[in-house]
Amino acid sequence: MKRRRYDFDLAQLLPVAVATTFAAVLTVLLTLGIQRASQLQSASSALQLASELRSLPQYFGTELTLVQRGLESRTFVGEPLQEIATARDGFDKALERIDAELLAAGLGSTVEIQRIRGALDAAWARFAPLLSAVTGHTGAPYADTLSGSRLNATGRALKGDVDAALAAQADSVRDVGGALKDLAAGLQDAVGDRGRSLRSFLLIGAAVAGLLLVLMLYFSLRSRRASADARRAERQVADILGTVREGLFLLDRNLSLGAVYSASLPRILHTDAVRDRAFEDLLRPLVPAKTLATAMKFVNLLWKEKVHEDLIDTVNPLNQIEVQFARSGGGTESRFLSFAFKRVKGGGAQGEHLLGIVTDITDRVQIARELEQSKADNQAQLDLVMQLLRVPFAQLQSFVQDADMALRKSNAILKQPGREATELRAKLNGVFREVHTVKGEAGALGLASIAARLHQLEESLAALREKSQVDGNDFIPVVVRLDELMSHLAGIGQFADRLAEVQPKGDTMRSIVPPLLANQVIGADAEPPLEQLLAQVVRDSAAAQGKRAALQCRGLQDIPPAYRKAVHDITIHMARNAVVHGIEAPEGRAAASKHDTAAVRVSFEQSGSEGYVLTVEDDGQGLPYERILDTALRKGLVSPADAARMERPAVYGLIFRSGFSTAEQVTEHAGRGVGLDAVSQTVRELGGSIGIATAEGKFTRFRMKLPRAETPAATHAA
């Protein structure tokens, strides 16, 4: 009996002993192989760096020649000097990386490698100080005289250093390049040695792994007969559970899933790692941390004897959850799952389990959401109709025409060829100006639905403007949104046309017009004056900012027809800007002993034979000189050196830059840095000019001089 038991134990231990022995051998071989692979990788990296550095000495010569020619022709040499400094620093860093890779490859102590590195360091040490001298100069190299630009002391010193560096460049190319060539040859030999060593370890490891595989197959065949019954039992259970559409599983007292679960469970949860997995780990990638903690508390409550299952099920945090699953082709898919739990009692307390049931309820949730979305869409359509009915008919037609022209112009700007960064930025700013102008008019007319859509398009444009690099593909979402806007606007145009068809004719019909449509049919051909529209802009902007403001207008009825559209757009931008940025909050005006209602003044008048003057003024806090300059520095619009030399008029002129805004946060009324840019662009297209007068704590006045000639306005309208 003892001998038989000993044989049985030996038969059980033999596969384990063999597998352990072979695993130890494989571990040693893999460790040595990984070490050789790491050395091979380091040697290859050093070889690649040495090969890349061989072209740098010649590159220095090219950049030095550019600097020399630039100094001779009195052109800007800052860019080649920066390139030289960058390349020099890159060469130093590359040498440090080469030394690190040589040390990692075990080549740092090789005599031949040390000799070559010494020669390379010596050759570079002779040339690097000359480059440092060239890039160490600061200040402008030219001085302006009556006869033109000439080299100043800095320029002459720079030219001397450049000439000296060029004189030594040929020797540097020979010495540094030769040393790098020798280093590359030595590294290539080292790479070959490491590769052959690694190949040997891999071959031996493959042989050991093959032998281990044969032995494992042998032991597997021996255990096949013993596990046949277990597989048949598992197959029968799988057949039963395979017909269930819900995901069924059991949880033990450790809240781990058992070996038995329905075939639908992995499909519903989009994972094959289900068996013997902790329920908390299964939920963690599906729900937020807070929901996970609540869910685990809920499941633990189900183990208590006195807990009423049906009652506690009403507070089940997993009753309906939204989860995100990765798609096989990329992206994610949103699904809705519902978990339910029931206690299952076995023969004793230790045999208790929780039966978990998970169901995919995505279709049911989507149907409910579609119904809600349909209700929301219907309400949005009703709101839009109500907004359109409140706008005078002639003004609605004018808005649709102007907006259609602006959006088509934006579309044309996007279709213009251009791949350079400056061209793409110009296209972006052009579209931004057009969209912002249309949004301003929509907001002034109370068309909140249209203004919201335009604001969303501005969000996309603002995101592009914040990117450091923009390419043509980045404009695709903008084009899609622009196309949707044009379609939406076309629908509004059709509504206006239908409204025109059903307008009552003659005074006899006025008595039967509903009050809501009164502004559409009574005097529908007369567009409300610009003063009325600006008053609405001032009221709405002030209300949104928690301020009080009143509009004062003069001479707007004398605007020539050729300038009406341009002045219309300019004054809307300027009036909103005056309220948002110019006037103070009520507490600020009270502290400054000002009237609680601020004044925004708009006037248009003739200026003799020269043309016209459009003035927009507010009695607010004035232009914040320090904040404007600080914002320009933070946005990189000016350098600290330029800022120190800028006069106040130049600083105030920064507010017309595209994207410039002192607003701390973006709102529907301000913060994009587009309004004043659009004003400046419009005035320039008209052939006019803008003047600024301001006093801190008192007022800000913009005076726009417009020529009398009709051609600039006609060009702008086109």
For the domain 247-361, what is the CATH code? 3.30.450.20
pLDDT of residue 327: 80
The predicted-structure confidence for 126-181, as pLDDT tens digits, reads as follows: 888 888 888 888 778 877 777 777 888 888 888 888 888 888 777 777 878 787 88
pLDDT of residue 616: 94
The predicted-structure confidence for 48-78, as pLDDT tens digits, reads as follows: 887 878 777 778 778 888 888 888 788 888 8
Q: Is the pTM of this model over 0.85?
A: no
pLDDT of residue 383: 65
Q: What is the average per-residue pLDDT within 564-590?
A: 88
Whether the CB-CB separation of 194 and 40 falls below 8 Å is answered with yes
Give me the CATH topology for the region 530-717: Heat Shock Protein 90 (3.30.565)
The predicted-structure confidence for 303-358, as pLDDT tens digits, reads as follows: 887 777 777 778 888 888 888 888 877 778 888 999 888 887 654 444 478 888 89
In the numeric block, which tokens belong to residue 127?
């040339």
Bridge-partner residues for 261, per DSSP?
249
The predicted-structure confidence for 446-492, as pLDDT tens digits, reads as follows: 777 777 777 777 777 777 766 777 777 777 777 777 787 788 777 77
Percentage with pLDDT > 70 across the chain: 85
DSSP track, 310-345: HHHGGG-TTSSEEEEEE-TTSSEEEEEEEEEEEEE-
510 has pLDDT over 50: no
Instruction: Describe the crossing of helices 2-53 and 153-241 by its angle, rounded to 10 degrees.
Output: 150
Torsion of CA 168, 174, 180, 184, to 10 degrees: 170
Report the distance separating Cα 536 and Cα 619, nearest Å.
19
Amino acid letter, residue 306: K
pLDDT of residue 127: 81
Confidence of residue 511 (pLDDT cuts 50, 70, 90): very low
The secondary element (H helix, E strand) that includes residue 690 is strand 689-695
Worst-scoring range by mean pLDDT, 58-67, 223-232, 250-259, 576-585?
223-232
The predicted-structure confidence for 627-642, as pLDDT tens digits, reads as follows: 888 888 887 778 888 8
Confidence of residue 704 (pLDDT cuts 50, 70, 90): very high
| Residues sharing a CB contact under 8 Å with residue 461, sequence separation 6 or more, in sequence order | 428, 431, 432, 435, 478
Q: Where are the domains positioned within the chain?
A: 2-215, 247-361, 385-521, 530-717
Torsion of CA 455, 460, 466, 472, to 10 degrees: -140
Among residues 584, 501, 570, 586, which one has the least CA distance to residue 537? 570
Report the distance separating Cα 428 and Cα 109, nearest Å.
57
Query: How crowded is residue 586: how many other Cβ atoms within 10 Å of its Cβ?
Result: 15
pLDDT of residue 712: 45
**What share of residues in the chain are helix, strand, coil (percent, to 5)?**
65, 10, 20
Among residues 642, 678, 645, 643, which one has the least CA distance to residue 660? 678
CA-based angle 256:261:265, to the nearest 5? 95
For 708-715, the CB contacts below 8 A with 24+ separation are 708/609, 708/610, 708/611, 708/612, 709/611, 710/560, 710/562, 712/685, 712/686, 712/687, 712/688, 713/560, 713/562, 713/563, 713/566, 713/686, 714/562, 715/685
Percentage with pLDDT > 90 across the chain: 5
Distances (CA, A) of 243 to 159, 645, 665: 87, 81, 57
pLDDT of residue 264: 86
The predicted-structure confidence for 514-547, as pLDDT tens digits, reads as follows: 444 444 444 444 445 788 888 888 988 888 888 9
Among residues 618, 614, 581, which one has the least CA distance to residue 683? 614
DSSP 8-state code for residue 350: G
The residue with tokens 């071959």 is 203
Q: What is the average per-residue pLDDT within 108-128?
A: 81
395 has pLDDT over 70: no
Whether the CB-CB separation of 558 and 605 falls below 8 Å is answered with yes
For the domain 385-521, what is the CATH code? 1.20.120.160
Amino acid letter, residue 292: L
Q: What is the average per-residue pLDDT within 583-591?
A: 89
530-717 has the same fold as 247-361:
no
Whether the CB-CB separation of 499 and 709 falls below 8 Å is answered with no
Whether the CB-CB separation of 635 and 650 falls below 8 Å is answered with no
The residue with tokens 């020797």 is 171
* E strand map for 624-676: none
pLDDT of residue 600: 93
First CA to last CA distance, the chain: 109
